[in-house]
Amino acid sequence: MKRIILAALLCFHLDSNAQYFIDVFSFNRQSYNVPSGPLTSDLFVNAVLPKVLKNGNTLFLRGGYEKLDLKNDSLSAEYSSITLAMGGQFQMKNPKVKFSGLVIPKIAGADFGNSFSESFQLGVFSMFTVTASEKFRYKFGLYYNKEFFGNFFIPLFGIDWKVTDRFLIYGTLPNSMKFSYALAPSKINAGVAFRSLTRSYRGEDVNTFVRYNELQLKSFLDFYVTPKNVVFLEVGYFMGKTPLLYNNSDTKKPLPSNLLKDGKAFLVFNAGWAFRF
């Protein structure tokens, strides 16, 4: 079986726009053990290449790599995805309003040896950001992706709110929201985070796919090793649906599997590093 071979990695995350800062490069690994199911590990590598134009607009190249591993005593499975998003942020006539748009081609699956078209997806991200004041801005938009289970539309609404010099609220629902407090300004941040992310991968059999509905509520700690280097730790509960296998002809009812099993709420851990501006 042919597996994914990568020479260079770039990663795009839908919720990376929802903040007063940007992670130019980061990587993290989250893990959890599904009760009576597999030990699951998910690796993400993230990067963004911005190009600021003379007129104040910004072009973006974002890419992505994710590797999902599932293992139990006798079985294992691996699913990966590569994303390359292209677009930018543009100033509207109203100086308080900016528009962000991205086209997001993606390949995702267990085996890309069959056909590129079998593992290819195409998405679009659009968002308007309105700056109400120096401390508050709100956002609204739409995300679409051609998932293996069908057309997937998500209306988006978010805020970036500097409540005080130490307390920030930022995020874009329904994907993410963070409540962050600076325990030691410029050194340690702590808070509570919400994360929701739905995606799909082509199965080893091209007649199947895996759907993954993440839903997490967790606490986090950010440690600023230097002003731009951040180590982060997260722990919380996974409350969504673990990766499940489906047949292309029935996108509602999961197939029986000795490895891909639904699990109830359980602990999830995440740790990583970011180069942040």
Residue type, 156: L
pLDDT tens column, 92-145: 999 999 999 999 999 999 976 667 889 999 999 999 999 999 999 999 999 999
Q: What is the pLDDT of residue 86?
A: 96
| C-alpha distance from residue 34 to each of 66, 245, 260, 276 (Å) | 19, 15, 10, 32
Query: What is the rounded distance in angstroms from the CA atom of residue 98 to the CA atom of residue 132?
Result: 12
- Among 31-40, 69-78, 181-190, the range with the most confident prediction by mean pLDDT is 181-190
Q: CA dihedral in degrees (66, 257, 153, 59; nearest 10)?
A: 10
22 phi/psi in degrees, rounded to 5: -135, 135
What does the mean pLDDT of the chain come to?
A: 90
Q: The domain 14-276 is classified under which CATH number: 1.10.1200, 3.30.70, 3.30.360, 2.40.160?
A: 2.40.160
Extents of the domains making up the chain = 14-276
Tokens, residue 163? 């409540």
pLDDT tens column, 188-224: 999 999 999 999 999 989 999 999 999 999 999 999 9
